[in-house]
Structure 1
């Protein structure tokens, strides 16, 4: 399935991989009002928890919109231990310095090619030149700290980012994947690259765009058809 961004942003399309649910970043006022009424009608103990979740959701939406995030998708997949691994996939636009996104991407791709850092490398994508950057970082983890402790919980996550651009836009398209399932970094990198290979700046549903052609087996674009395959 392909999704265009909103009319207020440059038009581009990409495929949503299996196992990901898209968060609504622009919910209608009527839906929010109905949700608030539902929360207020709950018993007190449930209402307090629901209000906490609602405030968290509102804060996330405001933060993502402020960062020009066009899509936020939550993924869940089985892991090797029989549990569920979660990840977050975001697509955002970033204004290019100097207004020439292609030059910025070409410069960064060149830096990636010359860099000794194994976590950064250039990419040749169907839509043009891009680059991949990845790292493992320690960050604040969800949950409550131990009783009597003011230190927030911490956890390790894998973060992968692909940057691309195309004709007709002065912005850089950033596709980022984050997961706490660090041991599955190779699989999530494949999903990220698969999404990046589907990015298009012309409507893929048009005959000239080849929107009905299946990706060649074994390519990164085909990877998203079998997320952990």
Structure 2
């Protein structure tokens, strides 16, 4: 696992921290307009035989960013890993929060867990993570494929995906942190469940950077277990 630094000198101090597994690249959810225009101009200048594929990638990126921003996602990473058939399996890892102002966040989390468990299509299990108590909910569902053109009748194309969700809260916070992993590689659901659990073990409500600076070698950090979490992709 690789620590992701979510704080900079110009940004506000984040409410939580987390680590990213190997093979995941953070996605810019607020790309500058000039960079997007430069990318569009670059694609226009590509040879015709490669332009179509590049355009599909750009549409996929635009669709993902639009969807994530509409759901107030604060962090996102795209994963790409070798599969058993010589190709690559893709996945999307997102981080967001559910505010629970004026109520006990742990009780709100319990209500969410009960609601999830009542869905017969979901597999729900309680979790005791280093940062606090939470739960994991997993299901196979259909979702709109970002970047795919509409069907002839105008309907949007949908694909089956495996979706795993961890919800957790900790002391001193009124928010519920939601970590979600989605992949179309249904045959690798068990492996991606392990990845999601590993990420859940890195979530911390305490800034890990002071401890790293103190010992100079990235020692044990409050609420994070990035060095010991099981990562099936190595």
User: Does the alignment pair 1:76 with 2:83?
Assistant: no
CA distance in structure 1 between the partners assigned to 2:124 and 2:179 by the alignment: 14
Cα drift, residue 23 of structure 1: 1.1
Question: How many aligned residue pairs are there?
Answer: 222
Which of the numbers 216, 220, 227 marks the counterpart of 1:213? Answer: 220
Q: Which residue of 2 aligns with 1:227?
A: 232
The 1:177/1:52 distance shift into structure 2, 3 A limit, reads closer
SS in 2 for 1:195: helix
SS in 2 for 1:213: coil
Show structure 2 runs of 5+ residues with no match.
none
Cα drift, residue 139 of structure 1: 3.3
TM-score (norm 2): 0.76
More moved, 151-160 vs 204-213:
204-213
8 Å contact 1:160–1:192 — kept in the other structure? yes
SS in 2 for 1:4: coil
Show structure 1 runs of 5+ residues with no match.
none
TM-score (norm 1): 0.77
8 Å contact 1:193–1:220 — kept in the other structure? no
Cα drift, residue 68 of structure 1: 1.4
User: Does the alignment pair 1:188 with 2:220?
Assistant: no
The 1:52/1:156 distance shift into structure 2, 3 A limit, reads closer
Give the 5 Å matches for 1:44-193.
50=54, 53-96=57-100, 98-109=102-113, 111=114, 119-141=123-145, 153-193=157-197
CA distance in structure 2 between the partners assigned to 1:141 and 1:58 by the alignment: 12
More moved, 134-143 vs 49-58:
49-58
CA distance in structure 2 between the partners assigned to 1:184 and 1:48 by the alignment: 29
CA distance in structure 1 between the partners assigned to 2:7 and 2:71 by the alignment: 15
More moved, 111-120 vs 97-106:
111-120
The 1:12/1:52 distance shift into structure 2, 3 A limit, reads same
The 1:70/1:104 distance shift into structure 2, 3 A limit, reads same
The 1:55/1:112 distance shift into structure 2, 3 A limit, reads closer
The 1:87/1:30 distance shift into structure 2, 3 A limit, reads same
8 Å contact 1:144–1:153 — kept in the other structure? yes
More moved, 201-210 vs 25-34:
201-210
CA distance in structure 2 between the partners assigned to 1:123 and 1:221 by the alignment: 19
Cα drift, residue 66 of structure 1: 2.3
Cα drift, residue 162 of structure 1: 0.1
Cα drift, residue 44 of structure 1: 7.0
SS in 2 for 1:80: coil
